[in-house]
Structure 1
Amino acid sequence: MPSASQQIMRLGFGFAVSQALRVIIELGVPDLLAVGERSVDELAAATQSDADALYRVMRLLAPEGIFREVAPRHFELTEIGAVLRSDQPGPRDFVSMINSEAYLAFEQLLYSVRTGKPAFDKVFGSPRFDWLSEHPEQAALFQRAMVALSQGSNEAVAEACDFRPFTRIIDVGGGHGQLLSAILARNPHLSGVLFDLPSGVAAAHEGAGGDLPRTEFIAGDFFESVPSGDVYVIKKVVHDWDDGRAAAILRNCRKAMLPNGKVLVAETLVPPGDEPNQIKGIDVVMLAVTGGLERTEAQYASLFDAAGLRLERVIQTRGPISILEASPAYG
């Protein structure tokens, strides 16, 4: 069993594995190994890389289950590594995204801990989403990464909610539109509105998230206003913002909703206790990159209260994501 010092050392080297994944994705190594094992020399020639350097990176990733060294300096792709191929829907875009500008911001995590402010703004000179609006290639990668990160969760949300009482659904910050597409496919009586910044609306228009029948595409700023409807779905948006900004989004939904309207916030709740959970890592990324946070159920209840809403119930899905259903707290 590793000693305490060895375990700490392994944790400290986590950045090396993360960046090594980004490098082999950018070089296209998983695609080259899709047809079978190859030597490092062949891979290096195909990727215009230094063979010895590439070997060292692949040797690092082999114990992590990405590759298998079947003979000296010969590797094959594992089942885990196969999800990094370009023809497979999976986390490759998320790995590339999180290990680029977000990674650089995270180096200044101490700044965020001392100030409570996002390090991204300090490193890049503007907030994360403002920066993305000025860098279309990175914005497109971000949208693809969100599609990858949302695998399974959009379907889980769509099937867990009963949309029969509603007629017009507003997907606030809907981005690529994958969630709205899943909901509309299950509820042919609904019309939809995909509401987001221009980059998100463009991704939805291009079909990044699937078919969007009966949908109106509206670009705008949810801190200013949102379109009118009787049910608002806000998935993985509220966690991007601090309490003041998050409450502003919810408050605008409260103002715009039709009578008997509902707000459905789909987020992964931070569980109690100290068991390992991916959401705790994402929470610290939110701290450094966007200034947002992952929240407990009690924290969401307080947030709704600040926006003139009342948490009615928490709907569990078949995935780790939950749906917090809120109604107006007053008439």
Structure 2
Amino acid sequence: MPNPSQQIMRLGFGFAVSQALRVIIELGIPDLLAVGEQSVDELAAATQSDADALYRVMRLLAPEGVVREVLPRHFELTEVGAVLRSDQSGPRDFVRMINSEAYLAFEQLMHSVRTGKPAFDKVFGSPRFDWLSAHPEQAALFQRAMVALGQGSNEAVADACDFKPFTRIVDVGGGHGQLLSAILARNPHLDGVLFDLPSGVAAARQGAGGDLPRTEFVAGNFFESVPTGDVYVIKKVIHDWDDRRAAVILQNCRKAMLPNGKVFVAETLVPPGDEPNQIKGIDVVMLAVTGGLERTQTQYESLFDAAGLRLQRVIQTRGSISILEASAA
């Protein structure tokens, strides 16, 4: 059992594991090991790397269960590491994305703690989403990372919501369209609107998130307006923004919503207590990178009130994500 100092030291070295994952993904190590165990010398030759340096990175990841050292300086891929292969729709793109510009911004977390403002703006000179709009390659990686991060949760949301009373669904900030695709597949009576910035709409048009029949693609700014519909889904968007800007998004949905319409906000709620939960880590990343936050149910209730909406119920899905169902106040 590690003593308190050892536990703190392990936490402090968390950045090393995170960056080591990015390195082996960028080098294609999981793909090379997919055919079977190989020596570090073979891996280094295939990736034009220094064998001793690569060994030290692999040795770091072995205790984390990503690879296994089966013989001295010979490694095989584990079941955990296999999700990093390029033929898997797992978290590899998320690891690459979070360990690039977001990682650099997080080094300035103290700025966010002292000011309450995102460190990303200080480091890169513009807000996160403005920066992505000016960097298409990183924006494309971001979209792929969101596909990976949304695995399972889109289906969970599509299954948990009752869309039978509605005819026109607007996916606000729908990005790649994975959620809307799942909803339309289950509800053939619905017409869809995929609403996002141009980069998100482009990804959806190209089929990044699946088939989108009966869908109108609309590029725009949800701080200005949103398309008309009788039901709105907003998944993992509100958490990107502070209360003032999040309320504007919801207010615009309220203004455009047809009579008897609904707004479904899909987010992971911050639970009470001290138990470990990934959402608490994501919350601090939001602080540094976008200026947004993860919220408790009580915080969402206040946010809906500010937007002219009323929280009617919270729908629990089979995953960690919840759906907050709201109507006009």
Show the 5 A alignment for 1:1-331. 1-329=1-329
Distance across 2 between alignment mates of 1:72 and 1:124: 43
Runs of 4+ residues over 2 Å off in structure 1: none
Distance across 2 between alignment mates of 1:167 and 1:5: 58
Shift of 1:324: 0.1
Distance across 1 between alignment mates of 2:204 and 2:257: 23
Distance across 1 between alignment mates of 2:161 and 2:266: 11
Shift of 1:55: 0.2
Distance across 2 between alignment mates of 1:54 and 1:238: 40
Distance across 1 between alignment mates of 2:45 and 2:186: 49
Distance across 1 between alignment mates of 2:241 and 2:2: 39
Match for 1:325: what amino acid? E
SS class of match (1:145): helix
Match for 1:59: what amino acid? R
Distance across 1 between alignment mates of 2:85 and 2:227: 39
Shift of 1:155: 0.1
Match for 2:35: what amino acid? V
Distance across 2 between alignment mates of 1:96 and 1:226: 32
Distance across 2 between alignment mates of 1:91 and 1:180: 21
Match for 1:128: what amino acid? R
Shift of 1:141: 0.2
Shift of 1:97: 0.1
Shift of 1:189: 0.1
Distance across 1 between alignment mates of 2:293 and 2:218: 27
1:69-95 deviation per Cα after TM superposition (whole angstroms, max 9, x unaligned): 000000000000000000011000000
Match for 2:303: what amino acid? L
Distance across 1 between alignment mates of 2:322 and 2:72: 47
Shift of 1:125: 0.1
Shift of 1:198: 0.1
Match for 2:294: what amino acid? E
Distance across 1 between alignment mates of 2:225 and 2:238: 15
SS class of match (1:36): coil
Match for 1:247: what amino acid? A
Shift of 1:239: 0.1
Distance across 1 between alignment mates of 2:23 and 2:185: 38
Match for 1:212: what amino acid? L
Shift of 1:166: 0.1
SS class of match (1:232): strand
SS class of match (2:209): coil
Match for 1:246: what amino acid? A
Shift of 1:10: 0.2
Unaligned runs of 5+ in 2: none
SS class of match (1:184): helix
- Could you tell me the TM-score, scaled by structure 2's length? 1.00
Distance across 1 between alignment mates of 2:66 and 2:173: 34
Distance across 2 between alignment mates of 1:136 and 1:65: 34
1:129-168 deviation per Cα after TM superposition (whole angstroms, max 9, x unaligned): 0000000000000000000000000000000000000000
- Could you tell me the TM-score, scaled by structure 1's length? 0.99
SS class of match (1:230): strand
Unaligned runs of 5+ in 1: none
Distance across 1 between alignment mates of 2:219 and 2:3: 54
SS class of match (1:188): coil
Match for 1:125: what amino acid? G
1:254-300 deviation per Cα after TM superposition (whole angstroms, max 9, x unaligned): 00000000000000000000100000000000000000000000000
Please tell me the root mean square deviation across aligned C-alpha atoms, in Å: 0.2
